[in-house]
Structure 1
Amino acid sequence: MDLHGGVKLEKEPNKNQSPSNIDFQPSKLGTKEYWDHAYERELECFRESGDTSEVWFGKESMDRIRNWLEKQNIPKDVALLDIGTGNGELLVELAKAGFTNLSGIDNSSTAVELAKAVAEKEELLSLKLQVADFLHPFPCLSHYEICIDKGTFDAISLSFDHPGEKLRRYHQSLLNVLKNGGLFLITSCNWTKQELVNHFNEGLELLEELPTPKFHFGGKTGSSVTVLVFKRKE
């Protein structure tokens, strides 16, 4: 399911098109207020039961990222940033896999409060979690060797307020925090491979597309999720 509530078919790529100039119908999923309220409910549920809600894109999305990183033999102390960390479950999984230099940001203070509570429950107090808006300068962030996005870019694209400009600012922020030669892993249910490549081609090059389940409908092949790995150009 995509953020609009339907399954995404592969679109015919337009090589001159990028997310910066493609418009989706705006959605409440593109507003900070929606996510603040959603994480308020999750935090209340966590305090009552100790359980987090369903993982964004499903648990398999976290397994896919963790397994890929482990297969690359990436050093466990690599500086990694989770962009839009939400409840922090991805960082918890990576910490359990042995990664030690993990940071997460979210523009929702309630999300960060929840992520800190989850980390405390798991006794993972080394996770660095902070409130920050990736679209604006934040001097507390340093340069990272890996950046991961699992839904944040999608949510920004559904904004009511100048989504194209916000996507361009996202790109610039990514270039600012990702080291030369660093890796950017993005999971999207709104954008095709070609659209993402077109958007991030300045300063980044596609390294790999990670396999996701495919389906066939009406003579077309599609997927509900696209997962790409980019490398910051030296």
Structure 2
Amino acid sequence: MEDTTKFNTSKLGTKEYWDEFYALEKKNFENNPEDTGECWFDDNDAEARMIEFLEDNIGIHHIKYDCSICDLGTGNGHLLFELVQNGFNGPMLGVDYSEQSIEFTKKVSQTKRLPVEFSATDIFNESWAPRRFDVVLDKGTLDAVALSGLTKENGKSFVELYPEVLDKLLVKGGVFLITSCNFTESELIKIIQTENLKAWSKIEYPSFSFGGVQGTAICSIAFVKLN
């Protein structure tokens, strides 16, 4: 049976593409401080739904307004900035492998005086030793990782290694919330779920029917770390 979790490579999976993209967004922001960049999956209202999901589950697992949050592949930091605007006030860290992304997010956070930390980080570097977080977020990052086609020396793809990154980041009882436009719900569970990281809940999106098949444009699933 064909492995549907594997994709052809694309420029959207390259560091060079994102460095150029965020260098332009930084320039646009310098010219217009109201232009804080593109909001990914805005057509599906994904960002607002992710925030609403966290708000609806305050008090469950480690989700609180003052919980610690890490955003993987933070891009322009928009999701974290919106969390601050919606009352989340715990320690927040956005990481991205694009230095231009981090330069841009730092400039926005300083200009807007938003208390969010950002770091240029290769999350697949074995020497990376991050602190642990109550909540870890991913909005399109695993999609880009899959499009990179990158593998380690042992032949394991970065997609296969993703659960190890999450295990390194999450506290016991911590929540991982991911939104994807490339993977289905069952594919995300196949990739992410381990003995220690279990699917817990999901965000409902409007569905459509095409060729007799029911589906959604994107999906969001929450996982909980057991130990």
With structure 2 as the length reference, what TM-score do the two structures score? 0.89
The residue number in structure 1 matching 2:203 is: 210
* d(CA) in 2 for partners of 1:90, 1:26: 26
Unaligned runs of at least 5 residues, structure 1? 1-13
Query: AA paired with 2:75?
Result: G
Matches within 5 A, 1:50-61: 50=33, 51-58=35-42, 60-61=45-46
The residue number in structure 1 matching 2:108 is: 118
Identical pairs, percent: 35
Q: Is the 8 A contact 2:69 2:136 kept in 1?
A: yes
Which of 5, 10, 14 aligns to 1:27? It is 10
Larger relative contact order (CA 8 Å, sep ≥ 6): 1
Task: Give every structure 1 segment of 4 or more consecutive aligned residues whose post-TM-superposition deviation is greater than 2 Å.
Answer: 137-140, 160-164
Q: Is the 8 A contact 1:31 1:160 kept in 2?
A: no
SS for the counterpart of 1:158 is helix
Q: Is the 8 A contact 1:197 1:206 kept in 2?
A: yes
SS for the counterpart of 2:82 is helix
The residue number in structure 2 matching 1:10 is: none
Distance 1:98 1:175, change over 3 A: same
SS for the counterpart of 2:148 is coil
SS for the counterpart of 1:191 is coil
Q: Is the 8 A contact 2:163 2:193 kept in 1?
A: no
Q: Is the 8 A contact 1:136 1:173 kept in 2?
A: no
Which of 8, 17, 21 aligns to 1:38? It is 21
CA deviations on 1:194-225 (whole Å, 9 max, x unpaired) are 11111122121111110112111111111110
SS for the counterpart of 1:161 is coil
Q: Does 1:85 align with 2:74?
A: yes
Query: AA paired with 1:56?
Result: W
Query: AA paired with 1:57?
Result: F
CA deviations on 1:35-75 (whole Å, 9 max, x unpaired) are 00110111111111120232111172211111111111232
Query: AA paired with 2:173?
Result: G
Please provide the CA RMSD for this pair: 1.9
* d(CA) in 1 for partners of 2:97, 2:207: 33
Distance 1:18 1:103, change over 3 A: farther
With structure 1 as the length reference, what TM-score do the two structures score? 0.86
Q: Does 1:150 align with 2:143?
A: no
